[in-house]
Structure 1
Amino acid sequence: MSRLHLTFACGDYDRTRALAEETIRPDGIDLTYLRLPVEETFFRMMRHQEFEVAEMSLSSYVVSLGADDPPFVALPVFTSRMFRHGSLYCHADAGISSPEDLRGKVVGTPEYQLTACVWMRGILGDRHGVPFDSVTYVTGGQETAGRVEKAGLDLPQSVRISRIPDDRTLSAMLAEGEIDALCTPRVPSPFAAGDPRVRRVFTDVVASEKEYYAATGIFPIMHVVVIRRDVYDRHPWVAQSLHKALLAAKEEAYASLYDTSALRFMLPWLTPQLEEARALLGRDYWSYGLDGNRETLATFLRYHHEQGLSKRSWRPEELFAPESLESAVI
């Protein structure tokens, strides 16, 4: 019997590597795994729907649900999760000594709808007295001039936002003090180079993120896996097949990460860091599915709606293919 051929565009992750290497194969599917940078995957999927299956920014996916005919359906598989307190940078002379000082400042962001920035705007509002509309935003390329939003946005007038000049970059503007701060998933080049003019807003990132988790129980979700809607409509069974395979691949990654015979990654204290993560966040700290992630998703969806990115507040269960939320009971 022939198998369905699908192309899956995704990052190079330990939790999906078994699918890339074909040691785990989804039932009934031959999968071509394309290892691509996340920005390229998101742009090509949002603009041109090039792949049958792809990793996608959680924010971009929720934006897409507002279309008359939503082009994707998601699986509750979270290829990227990350605390993002370390994603806020500021100019050393901007008068920012704490997160609360961001009120009234000019903050750059490559795109307003980036998931990391939705999270940080929400966290700043909830926990640091910086409502999202108390800041002026500028958008554009971080390291290369000319970046634009992947999807058209219809933002409320309360959002003060403009594009930087087409020949400028956010990293250069931050270093030169033309903007006060920058919220970005990627480390800006001046900071990476040790430029003293640029520093992080949260001076002790790890302590801030641990405190945030202790207070909220939230380990932020960044990316989901989406299936193109036309593929799902023709073959609804692929949702469960892919979900099972991705879950098995994650479990395999858990096991290999705790193999102490030789370090899998170039981190000297990888094993004790893994044990600490399990102690603080639980053994299944990178959990998939709706159970255990409902509050995290509900918080993000509230932020997304409050910040003008979605016209209504979605419920977590509305995001996912129903088949991926159920399993057979033996």
Structure 2
Amino acid sequence: MTNMAQPAAVHIGATPSFHTQPLLSGLIDVPGLAYRVSATRTIDECTMKALRGELDVAEMSLATFVKARERDDSLVGLPVFARKLVSQYAFCREGSELSGHKSLAGRRVAVPQYWLTAALWHRWYLGMHGVDTAGVVWCPLADDRLAGMSYPEGVQIDWSLKGRGPADVLRSGDADCFIFARRPLDMTGLRYLSPDPAGEALALARQTGVVPVTHVIAVRAALLRERPGLAGALVELYTRALHHAAQEVAHEAAQFLPLGDLEQDRTRAALGEHWNEYGWKHSEPALRVFCEAAVAQGMVREVDVDHAFLRLEP
């Protein structure tokens, strides 16, 4: 009898986090799916390795994925997304008169990169608060991840702060606000832009029905054509990893977040039991909002959502 060759193990790239640790440790299995995982230090590294074809499957910045799809269709997105309540991550100096996104009209706003996923979400929030983003002076602290990015006419971009840190540009007064998807490491002399960042973030999510998507799991399209059933197996793999992480996250974080279990309960009560679930049904509303924002802000001409992402459920 001839032995049939087994498919090569799928090469997955993952940045260490609660939702990827079960994969990095090899704890999660799906029948018929062989995989190996390479840890990457940052989402930038993981994203760029995916774009260079060094990984079969990788967690990528959503904005970079959307732009990459405009250039070619070599990658396809699974309905496996990382989410964050992005609106809370806006900061200013202590003593500033600023209060909330609505107060940023005409201000100097620092961003890690202009076309960062979080920056697109924050500009969407500004629009919701009636702020004309063309009237804001945008101050990127680094070049955009992808070379050759264009910027819309009429947008004010000041590159003079490039290379500096967010806390530095805020404390010095060279920027009025800094927005991102996490807070500066050193908050000395700084504060949140909103007087109630948690309450406002939850209210926005309930009002819009959107919990922002920040990362997507992308797969080489050629590999999916070669291996029917692989996409479904990968969604199942990531879903099992997510459920394991949800059960263990409060225990793992207890040294720093001793009320983690109670906080998870509060979050589910505020956002719904399935707010963080994978699958197309749970992800489509936020995904379409983001893609519409990417077009409206001029990052891409259009996004064919129904072909860029697979409509699968766990």
- After TM superposition, is the score higher than 0.5? yes
CA separation of 1:321 and 1:290: change in aligned 2, threshold 3 A: closer
Listed as ranges, the matches of 1:291-310 within 5 Å are 291-310=281-300
C-alpha contact (below 8 Å) 1:121/1:131 kept by paired residues = no
For structure 1, which segment, 276-285 or 104-113, has the greater mean C-alpha deviation from structure 2 after superposition? 276-285
C-alpha contact (below 8 Å) 2:86/2:118 kept by paired residues = yes
Q: Which amino acid aligns with 1:50?
A: E
Q: Which amino acid aligns with 1:299?
A: V
Q: Could you tell me which residue of structure 1 aligns to residue 26 of structure 2?
A: 22
Q: SS of the residue aligned with 1:56?
A: strand
Q: Which amino acid aligns with 2:253?
A: F
Listed as ranges, the matches of 1:127-276 within 5 Å are 128-141=129-142, 147-164=143-160, 168-191=164-187, 194=188, 196=189, 198-257=190-249, 263-266=251-254, 267-276=257-266
Q: Aligned partners of 1:199, 1:252: CA distance in 2, in Å?
A: 34
1:7 aligns with 2:11: yes
* Structure 2 unaligned regions, length at least 5: none
C-alpha contact (below 8 Å) 2:280/2:313 kept by paired residues = no
Q: Which amino acid aligns with 2:177?
A: A
Deviations 1:168-226 (CA, angstroms, capped at 9, x unpaired)? 444422221112211122322442xx2x2x32211211111121122122111111100
Q: Percent identity?
A: 25
TM-score of the pair, normalised by structure 2:
0.88
Q: Aligned partners of 1:32, 1:63: CA distance in 2, in Å?
A: 27
Q: Could you tell me which residue of structure 2 aligns to residue 41 of structure 1?
A: 46
- Structure 1 residue 277, shift from structure 2 partner: 1.7
C-alpha contact (below 8 Å) 1:109/1:139 kept by paired residues = yes
- Structure 1 residue 239, shift from structure 2 partner: 1.3
CA separation of 1:221 and 1:167: change in aligned 2, threshold 3 A: closer
For structure 1, which segment, 166-175 or 4-13, has the greater mean C-alpha deviation from structure 2 after superposition? 166-175
C-alpha contact (below 8 Å) 2:109/2:178 kept by paired residues = yes
Matched positions, count: 307
Q: Aligned partners of 1:99, 1:89: CA distance in 2, in Å?
A: 10
Q: Could you tell me which residue of structure 1 aligns to residue 120 of structure 2?
A: 118
Q: Aligned partners of 2:106, 2:299: CA distance in 1, in Å?
A: 21
C-alpha contact (below 8 Å) 1:83/1:219 kept by paired residues = yes
Deviations 1:118-151 (CA, angstroms, capped at 9, x unpaired)? 111101211x11132221112124xxxxx54334
Listed as ranges, the matches of 1:61-100 within 5 Å are 61-67=65-71, 69-78=72-81, 80-92=82-94, 95-100=97-102
Q: Which amino acid aligns with 1:223?
A: H
* Structure 1 unaligned regions, length at least 5: 142-146
C-alpha contact (below 8 Å) 2:92/2:191 kept by paired residues = yes
Q: Could you tell me which residue of structure 2 aligns to residue 144 of structure 1?
A: none
C-alpha contact (below 8 Å) 1:11/1:38 kept by paired residues = yes
- Structure 1 residue 97, shift from structure 2 partner: 3.2
Q: Which amino acid aligns with 1:24?
A: I
CA separation of 1:18 and 1:167: change in aligned 2, threshold 3 A: closer
- Structure 1 residue 286, shift from structure 2 partner: 0.8
For structure 1, which segment, 88-97 or 265-274, has the greater mean C-alpha deviation from structure 2 after superposition? 88-97
- Structure 1 residue 242, shift from structure 2 partner: 0.8
Deviations 1:7-54 (CA, angstroms, capped at 9, x unpaired)? 2111223333332222323443332212222232123333x2321110
Q: SS of the residue aligned with 1:8?
A: strand
CA RMSD of aligned residues (A): 2.3
Q: Aligned partners of 1:155, 1:236: CA distance in 2, in Å?
A: 39
Q: Which amino acid aligns with 1:264?
A: E
C-alpha contact (below 8 Å) 1:175/1:190 kept by paired residues = no
Q: Which amino acid aligns with 1:5?
A: A
Deviations 1:224-257 (CA, angstroms, capped at 9, x unpaired)? 1001233333334321221121112222333445
- Structure 1 residue 92, shift from structure 2 partner: 4.1
Q: Aligned partners of 2:182, 2:246: CA distance in 1, in Å?
A: 25
Deviations 1:244-296 (CA, angstroms, capped at 9, x unpaired)? 211122223334457xxxx3322211121111122222222211111132221
TM-score of the pair, normalised by structure 1:
0.84
